Structure 1
């Protein structure tokens, strides 16, 4: 029998407890929601940075495949743990970082998500100024409207995110394929694409780091939804589909548009193609399905940081913080590429620590959340710090370095020191 407490937790989407069996969702529900999360305009821009730097085939295709495979496998591994336990990343971090140490995970994940949310609001205003001539003098009103409007589905919770994604994802995929087909014709077909030469060389490792860094924060927090899966296997498959195929498709679209039109924004490209109305519909759906997931992820991290079950309140608080950041000019920052590289450096080791703790130290069995954990898990914290330093300074593929280093350091350290 449901109690008032359990009903309240359900209405708030279980921010401080495992998702119970009766609230779990199928692949049909989970996969579109996660794909909608990955179909984000910021990913198009990352594709636009990478696209002009490589020959279309096979170089660019291989870079996109490798980058998104790393991202997809990383997110899927965390998704499996979430599906098995019913816990998201910030709750899992209590075991691998400690009851107090896990608040660092809350901060870094929450901060990046709220930054993306604010950046998205600025992007909306800028695009509508450019495409439809929306008066810049009214940008403040537009930004307030989209900042609070797009968080409505996140406020309601998983059910609203689910139904929005079921409608929006198929529509977005169809519209993007339509635009890419037109672009292929404008490029002169396959021969025209393969004849294009790189114009802005970019080191291979930096390109892969940008691809992974674009959505590694989202991949680390995809557990907010994969914890609703009926099993670990379902969660892993749905997450891999979203982060390898969904994110890969958007990276490819941004790179493709940059190659053909010298513009990574597929919405502006659709305007050039004479598809203004359809481009605006795509943009609206694209932003809504990711912005609401982004602020939802912030709300879960914030609820855990302050140990409050009032996720709804944290959604509104996060939207207000994002509003201040947007008005502060976050969209106009010239450090976008550096931001992506830093995300790809400092976030993946979190997942490496959590995976090593779950699979190798605890052998896939976690204690109940009600059992107090040490304030600081120094093995986890130390492994993270050293792995982040290795990722930052060592040559190679930065995110992969961070994941492997954190996993290995935690595995070895936990044999000698009690986590």
Structure 2
């Protein structure tokens, strides 16, 4: 294996990651955990904290993050086995040009998150430090382009930041949570607290999944660097089940005790202003660089270019512009949108890899794919419609329906394409 410094800066945006460039478990885990440590997830957790008693809250967090972790881990396994990320795997399911559906959906959501993070750090810094309001937009521009630097470097830059930031954030969160539990009177005090709002269990689990389903769908951008499928699955579960779950729980606890979901606001309420500023920077930066990296990967596939650094810079500019024009005010409907329309995309890809292709893609360079594979595109449409109209657990319904539809439609399309019944070997063709 090559040394970390030898990793090419373009990170193979249009091809498989070779075995010589694969990374170990701890490297992947640090990058993925840094990605899931995000302040918006805590805000979603705050909505749950005021809607359930403590025991029900824990069950909702566990169920939602287990489903999210399983979804992301399945895609992570596929990425490690194939060396491909989500948008490249989409070529096998949707076709050469049809895969741009994935580019558009995933790229839009990631640049939306980037806008939210850029606006959030600028607004919070102005408030925390008592700066003039006129500095808000200049700060958005500064952070909008500043946070993309590690993403331009690539995997190497993301890992170096996460090596420092993840342990530091874990320590700060542990301090804040301990103070919060002590202030409310320990576990007995938490158990005695009653909900003040109402939210159905199905809606709550959908919200938990929606907090990071877009990121989970694109975690393949890093799990494709895994040495093995097993390591990819374990690293993904640590990040999306444990890491994202910790963020949701932190937000819920903050809302219960301090009526503030964001750990930064909680730290301010606890008199930890200096630590709050440090936490704000680390929390936002470790997700922002991953987010705009995701946008760049989708953009490279959309434009069929390997100039990932340039696409990253353009994405940062778009995200900064959206932040300036108020994208951050649309967080809740944005979460609902993510939780409904992204999971069916993953469902199609999982069915395509595990069933139709029997867990093995032929190399991209050796594969002649049609422009559009209508069976995959139609299956996504069916799954998205099912999720949108589902009265319960829309993300789970979307994945299941899209996967089933793709298996049925894919086999039907192959049988009629060559005039013979479909066989198990068709998955290799």
Q: 5 Å matches for 1:199-238?
A: 199-238=196-235
Answer yes or no: is 1:105 the counterpart of 2:105.
Answer: no
Determine the C-alpha separation between the residues in 2 that align with 1:247 and 1:219: 10
Shift of 1:163: 1.2
TM-score (norm 2): 0.94
The answer for the alignment partner of 1:273 in structure 2 is 270
The answer for the alignment partner of 1:19 in structure 2 is 17
Q: Which secondary structure state, in structure 2, belongs to the residue aligned with residue 417 of structure 1?
A: helix
The answer for the alignment partner of 1:54 in structure 2 is 52
Answer yes or no: is 1:362 the counterpart of 2:357.
Answer: yes
Shift of 1:8: 11
Determine the C-alpha separation between the residues in 2 that align with 1:85 and 1:144: 38
Answer yes or no: is 1:379 the counterpart of 2:375.
Answer: yes
Gapped regions of structure 1 (runs ≥ 5): none
Shift of 1:136: 1.1
Q: Which secondary structure state, in structure 2, belongs to the residue aligned with residue 308 of structure 1?
A: coil
Q: Which secondary structure state, in structure 2, belongs to the residue aligned with residue 198 of structure 1?
A: coil
Residue pair 1:71, 1:212 contacting (<8 A) in 2 also? yes
How many residue pairs were aligned? 411
Shift of 1:51: 1.1
The answer for the alignment partner of 2:400 in structure 1 is 404
Residue pair 1:9, 1:15 contacting (<8 A) in 2 also? no
Shift of 1:414: 1.9
Q: Which secondary structure state, in structure 2, belongs to the residue aligned with residue 395 of structure 1?
A: coil
The answer for the alignment partner of 1:394 in structure 2 is 390
Determine the C-alpha separation between the residues in 2 that align with 1:220 and 1:346: 11
Match of 1:84 among 81, 84, 96: 81
Residue pair 1:90, 1:105 contacting (<8 A) in 2 also? yes
Shift of 1:413: 1.8
Residue pair 1:131, 1:268 contacting (<8 A) in 2 also? no
Shift of 1:369: 0.9
Match of 1:41 among 39, 42, 48: 39
Determine the C-alpha separation between the residues in 1 that align with 2:373 and 2:46: 40
Determine the C-alpha separation between the residues in 1 that align with 2:165 and 2:27: 13
Residues 68-93 of structure 1 show CA distances to partners (whole Å, capped at 9, x for unaligned) of 00100000000000001100000000
Answer yes or no: is 1:351 the counterpart of 2:346.
Answer: yes
Residue pair 2:7, 2:21 contacting (<8 A) in 1 also? no
Gapped regions of structure 2 (runs ≥ 5): 418-429
The answer for the alignment partner of 1:28 in structure 2 is 26
Determine the C-alpha separation between the residues in 1 that align with 2:137 and 2:383: 42
Shift of 1:364: 1.1
The answer for the alignment partner of 2:421 in structure 1 is none
User: CA RMSD, aligned part only?
Assistant: 1.4
Q: 5 Å matches for 1:57-206?
A: 57=55, 59-206=56-203
Shift of 1:245: 0.4
Shift of 1:283: 1.1
Shift of 1:336: 2.2
Match of 1:290 among 274, 287, 290: 287
Determine the C-alpha separation between the residues in 1 that align with 2:126 and 2:152: 28
Determine the C-alpha separation between the residues in 1 that align with 2:7 and 2:385: 39
Match of 2:251 among 254, 263, 275: 254
Residue pair 2:118, 2:140 contacting (<8 A) in 1 also? yes
Determine the C-alpha separation between the residues in 2 that align with 1:39 and 1:352: 25
The answer for the alignment partner of 1:336 in structure 2 is 331
Shift of 1:166: 1.1
Stretch of structure 1 that moved more, 130-139 or 279-288:
130-139
Determine the C-alpha separation between the residues in 2 that align with 1:154 and 1:55: 40
Determine the C-alpha separation between the residues in 1 that align with 2:62 and 2:138: 40
Determine the C-alpha separation between the residues in 1 that align with 2:59 and 2:106: 29
Residue pair 2:7, 2:156 contacting (<8 A) in 1 also? no
Q: Which secondary structure state, in structure 2, belongs to the residue aligned with residue 374 of structure 1?
A: coil
Shift of 1:17: 0.6
Determine the C-alpha separation between the residues in 2 that align with 1:161 and 1:377: 34
Residue pair 1:210, 1:337 contacting (<8 A) in 2 also? no
Q: 1:160 to 1:8 in 2, by over 3 A?
A: closer
Determine the C-alpha separation between the residues in 2 that align with 1:159 and 1:9: 7
Answer yes or no: is 1:308 the counterpart of 2:294.
Answer: no
Q: Which secondary structure state, in structure 2, belongs to the residue aligned with residue 10 of structure 1?
A: coil
Determine the C-alpha separation between the residues in 2 that align with 1:150 and 1:399: 30
Shift of 1:11: 2.4
